[in-house]
Structure 1
Amino acid sequence: MTRYEQLAQQVREQIQSGVWRAGDKLPSLRESGKRAGLSLMTVVQAYQLLESQGWIVARPQSGYYVAAHAQPLPQVVRSEKLLLSEQVDINTFIFDVLQACKDPEIVPFGSAFPDATLFMQPKLARALSGVARKFTPHNSLANLPPGNEALRRHIAQRYVLSGIQVVPDEIVITAGAMESLNLSLQAVTQPGDYVAIESPAFYGALQALERLRLKAVAIATHPQDGIDLDSLQQALEQYPIRACWLMTNFQNPQGATMPQKNKQRLVSLLHERQISLIEDDVYGELYFAADRPLPAKALDSDGQILHCSSFSKCLAPGFRVGWVAAGRYAPQIQRLQLLSTVSTSVPMQMAIADYLLHGGYDTHLRRLRRLLALRQSVMSQAIAHYFPPTVKVSQPVGGYFLWLELRPEQSAMVLYQRALAEGVSIAPGRMFTTSNHFDHCFRLNASFDWSDKHETAIKTLARLIRELEPVV
């Protein structure tokens, strides 16, 4: 551990133990350095790390202050930890909610997409322009499934640098992560099969199950540690489950990240039964700590884990370029893709490959993580300041979503409808389940640069929450 990391850990422990409380001003950079016998630059690095993790916040011309943290969500305790859905029917409702986020007059807290201003990449635009000038008919044939060779090699290198053994031939380039996830699901299931998913779950998983006529076994999921493994084991013993679709890092909608020991147990449970894991890791690069949490794919010993990700959430949302490290299923994924979309946009593949070759991606990612951590901290502080104290808020360590729980008798659907009428969108809990377990919950997108407009929107939500009447 470096000296600045040691200082950051000391300050973090002081905050956790109550030495410094929310709103307290921390000692100045020079004062902290003098007291600890450290250089000014070392203290700056420590404070910047704490800020990126949401522990402190900088105020211009004033100094650093302890960030306000809303009440964390308690351990999820539900009488029903397993929920079987023989028929999933949710597409219409999800479509209506997402359509509302397209209105430029609406504050899009309900959006699933990060703030577009985070991705103004002149180098990427130049790469695409250069590709367009050099594009030939041969390029279209050369980049059919499994996809652009240079891009697959770059992705494989990033896996290896993270300590994950993935070879280029295992990687299939797809039209965004949703195609990689859908193709993976088709590769390992047949209509009528059972699939274990989280509860609440990413609505894209629910849509895919509905389209492929699959049965969902929803497993209780905690906003801090992820899926309940005891409940998953019970489900594996009770139902003939063919696959699991999970987010192990920064889960959407709750933001949960499974501890490494939980990932090890998960992989063991599935390996014993030869059940495939479709791992949705689209937010994996958006971590706030010093190191990226490894996905379950790092523990894959037999090619049974299909690891899906994309550049849409961290580099180029409009390019729609994703991939799946498909293990033993790579040939089958390629065949399925040829029968559906044929291939991913070739110019987009080539442009991203060129961008990765000439560097700058990791610099961009570091800036992106720093901004997302800061923006999440600012929104959390606003929620703590304006919302009723009964509202509970998650504290994810990556991604850009916050999951909020109202009192059980309050309806997030009513809040959604009233907020939309006043120009603010949220993502109500009903989007993420086929039951009514999360009718008092909703998700907020914390990726936007804070402004008076966003603060007014938070104040509006706070007022509407106070006005909610219990649902009879």
Structure 2
Amino acid sequence: MSKDVLYLKIAKSVTEQIKSDTLQFGDRLPSLRSAQKLYNVSLNTVKQAYMELESRSLVESRPKYGYFVSQSSQRKLALPSVAPMKVAERENTAEVLIDKVFGTIGGTDVTQFALGIPGKSFLPLAKLKKSMINVINRKSDSGTDYEPVQGNEYLRRESAKWALVLEGKISEDDLVITSGAMNAVYTCLMAVTKSGDSVAVESPVYFGVLQAIQQLGLKVVEIPTHPIYGVDLEALKKVLPTLSACCFVTNFNNPLGFQMPDENKKELVKLITEYNVPLIEDDIYGNLYFGAERPKPCKFYDEAGLVMWIGSVSKTLAPGYRVGWVAPGKFKEQVIRQKLVQTVCSPSIYPDVIADFLEHGRYDHHLRTFRKKLYANYLQIQKSVTEYFPDNTKISEPKGGFMLWLELDKKICTEDLFDEAMSQKINFAPGRMFSQYNQYQNCMRLNYALEWTDRVESDLEKLAKMVKKRM
């Protein structure tokens, strides 16, 4: 029997044990060496079998502990639908709705499921304060001098050191500092497009990207997107000749939470290289993975310099500092020129604070703690949605990040539901915000990067009751 068939046979055997409840959520699979003896195969065959199970979300690897049956394997609710490709004239982005949702950002007594902001308990506030004091004491100019247009050299150096996933493929000279990830996206769009050009995005897509593209007078092309595998590459290939850029979140996409498989990333890079189309890759959630290791971005596979790789600390350290960066590849000079026109330079204090933290603040330890909390919250919110929401609710299966996408009964309009929920001091992001078309009205995005309390669970139950009442 060939090795390929053997690993699939082992994977099938374990799958059957999970389906029959012989193996249940949290159970540990035999170690690689034990399984090697059990099935009388090579170690590599067992690894392939376990990786196959992991790719199907049936098991999860935990560093130093082994492989365990995942909660996803016990899921009772279906995955969200993939929206069909639309070619009709665009409708309007839900700007009034977006403004209304963002209007809740200062609400202190609101359960904040709506916005992608980590709760304060997730952030290393004391260490950031220490870094701030270090920087103030060190700076003779109190931060009043201009920075180089390319950005703070200290931060570029520390960011390049921390880009371990790229295995040394970028240096401090490759990076440009920006005012957060959205500023980087906007600057990259300005660098590689002109008014009237077409830009591909996922569908559903983060509404900030949608607004940025439209603000620049560009046409949005929404590509059908699978909640596990990401962008439909066949659909993308058909429109690539008409595109001036792609703008995707390949790791823990917002709002679906998928992690595009490595093979798909390689294929995506191959396609954009063939058609010479830049890819603006927002990797802002890349460090917030639930698996064994940080997933590679498309930038890792980019040889032509077409991938403009964006990072930021807005989701992991300090949302309000607005510190981000981009490795723009062959478009570096255009990006620096755009930055000069827009902002001249970045503020000097906050980049120095982040650089100090990256050097001295044990960022790796912070990220490990952050990921553990996030994963615990993900399990909580998934369990609560399954328990409280109607049985026909469809739910995404994020592999990291902190967004959960729900697809409700077609009778439900989440834009109307938002107003009722806000009257109860509960908010969420209605699905209509995530497309230029009149779709996703029965969907919602929930942020689970918040302190999980009895009130949070109770409010989720209240939200579910509002949904049931409308069916």
- Compute the TM-score of the two structures, normalised by the length of structure 2: 0.85
Which residue in 2 is equivalent to 1:202? Answer: 206
Of 346-355 and 139-148, the range deviating more from structure 2: 139-148
Find the counterpart in structure 1 of residue 290 from structure 2: 288
Tell me which residue corresponds to 1:223: 227
Question: Are positions 1:55 and 2:67 aligned together?
Answer: no
User: Does structure 1 conserve the Cα–Cα contact (< 8 Å) formed by 2:203 and 2:434?
Assistant: yes
Paired residues for 1:382-421 under 5 Å: 382-421=384-423
Q: State the SS of the aligned residue for 1:137.
A: coil
Take 1:456 and 1:11, find their aligned partners in 2: how far apart are those partners?
40
Runs of 5+ unmatched residues, structure 1: 1-8, 38-44, 57-65
Amino acid at match of 2:77: Q
Separation in structure 2 between the aligned mates of residue 340 and residue 140 of structure 1, nearest angstrom: 19
Structure 1 distance, partners of 2:353, 2:255, is 31
CA-to-partner distance for each residue in 1:85-114, whole Å, 9 max, x for gaps? 557544332111111243112111112212
Q: SS of the residue aligned with 1:94?
A: helix
Which secondary structure state, in structure 1, belongs to the residue aligned with residue 110 of structure 2? coil
Partner Cα separation in structure 2 for residue 67 and residue 455 of structure 1: 23
Q: Specify the SS of the correspondent of 2:266.
A: helix
CA-based RMSD:
3.0
**Is the Cα contact below 8 Å between 1:88 and 1:215 reproduced in 2?**
no
Describe how 1:172-191 pairs up with structure 2 within 5 A: 172-191=176-195
Query: What is the CA–CA distance in structure 1 between the aligned matches of 2:328 and 2:26, rounded to whole Å?
Result: 49
Are the equivalent residues in 2 in contact too, given 1:70–1:392 (CA < 8 A)?
no
Counterpart of 1:338? Answer: 340
* Displacement of 1:339: 1.4
- Who is 1:265 aligned against? 267
Match of 1:328 in 2: 330
Counterpart position of 1:69: 75
Q: Are 1:452 and 2:454 an aligned pair?
A: yes
Tell me if the contact between 1:85 and 1:215 (Cα under 8 Å) persists in the aligned partners: no
Tell me the CA shift for residue 250 of structure 1. 0.5
Q: CA deviation at 1:324?
A: 0.4
Q: 1:8-33 deviations in whole A, cap 9, x for unaligned?
A: x99996874343577x7869xxxx99
Q: How many residues align?
A: 435
Write the letter of the residue equivalent to 2:251.
Answer: N
Deviation (angstroms), 1:456: 1.1
Quote how far apart the aligned CAs of 1:122 are: 2.0
Q: Structure 1's 328 and 465: CA in aligned 2 closer, same or farther, altered over 3 A?
A: same
Shift of 1:428: 0.7
Q: 2 CA distance for matches of 1:138 and 1:281?
A: 32
Q: Aligned letter for 2:70?
A: W
Map 1:231-250 to 2 at 5 A: 231-237=235-241, 240-250=242-252
- Please tell me the residue identity of whatever aligns with 2:206: F
Q: Which residue does 2:103 correspond to in 1?
A: 99
Residue 213, structure 1, aligned to residue 213, structure 2: no
Q: Distance in 2 between matches of 1:294 and 1:25?
A: 27
* Matches of 1:160 and 1:291, distance apart in 2: 11
**What SS does structure 1 have at the residue aligned with 2:461?**
helix
- In 1, distance between residues paired with 2:298 and 2:275? 16
Q: Is contact 1:164-1:297 (8 Å) kept?
A: no
Distance 2:119 2:13 in 1: 31
Q: Specify the alignment match of 2:310 in structure 1.
A: 308
Q: 2:426 aligns with which of 424, 427, 437?
A: 424
Q: What is the aligned partner in structure 2 of residue 3 from structure 1?
A: none
The answer for the alignment partner of 1:276 in structure 2 is 278
The alpha-carbon deviation at position 385 of structure 1 amounts to 1.2
Cα 1:21–1:53 shift into 2, 3 Å: closer
Instruction: Give the alignment partner of residue 383 of structure 2, picking from 378, 381, 387.
Output: 381
Deviations 1:100-150 (A, max 9, x none): 243112111112212122003322211111211222339655632211112
Conservation of the 8 A alpha-carbon contact between 1:372 and 1:447: yes
1: distance between equivalents of 2:192 and 2:407?
35
Helix, strand or coil for the counterpart of 1:309? strand
Aligned match of 2:445: 443
On the 8 A contact 1:253/1:443 being kept in 2, the answer is yes
2: CA distance between counterparts of 1:425 and 1:332?
40
| 1:360 alignment partner, one of 353, 357, 362 | 362
Alpha carbons of 1:456 and 1:325: their partners in 2 closer, same or farther (altered >3 Å)?
A: same
C-alpha distance in 1 between matches for 2:444 and 2:290: 23
Deviates more, 1:251-260 or 1:412-421: 412-421
Indicate if the aligned counterparts of 2:251 and 2:295 stay in contact, CA closer than 8 A.
yes
Question: 1:387, 1:462 within 8 Å by CA — same for their partners in 2?
Answer: yes
Seq. identity, % = 34
CA distance in 2, matches of 1:440, 1:201: 15
Distance 1:381 1:48, change over 3 A: farther
Query: Cα offset for 1:329?
Result: 1.3
Q: Is the alpha carbon distance of 1:54 and 1:243 closer, same or farther for their aligned partners in structure 2, counting shifts above 3 Å? A: farther
Partner of 1:468: 470
CA spacing shift, 1:336–1:217, aligned 2, 3 Å: same
* Number of the residue aligned with 1:131: 135
Helix, strand or coil at the partner of 1:308:
strand
Matched-pair contact (CA < 8 Å) for 2:290–2:375: yes
Please give the alpha-carbon distance, in whole angstroms, between the structure 2 residues aligned to 1:301 and 1:323.
20
Give the 3-state SS of the residue equivalent to 1:340 in structure 2: helix
Q: Using a 3 Å threshold, how does the CA distance of structure 1 residues 16 and 448 change in structure 2: closer, same or farther?
A: farther
Which one-letter code corresponds to 1:271 in the other structure? Answer: T
Partners in 2 of 1:422 and 1:51 — Cα distance? 43
Q: For residues 244-293 of structure 1, what are the alpha-carbon distances to aligned partners after superposition, in whole Å with 9 as ceiling and x for unaligned?
A: 01111100011111111111111111111111100011100000111111
In the TM superposition, what is the alpha-carbon distance from 1:169 to its structure 2 partner? 1.3
The CA distance in 2 between the partners of 1:435 and 1:350, in whole Å, is 42
Instruction: List per-residue Cα deviations over 1:371-401 (Å, max 9, x = no partner).
Output: 1011110111111111111111111110011
Q: Deviations over 1:42-84 (max 9, x none)?
A: xxx987888999936xxxxxxxxx99634140562x4x31445
When residues 328 and 67 of structure 1 are mapped into structure 2, their CA distance, relative to the original with a 3 A threshold, is closer
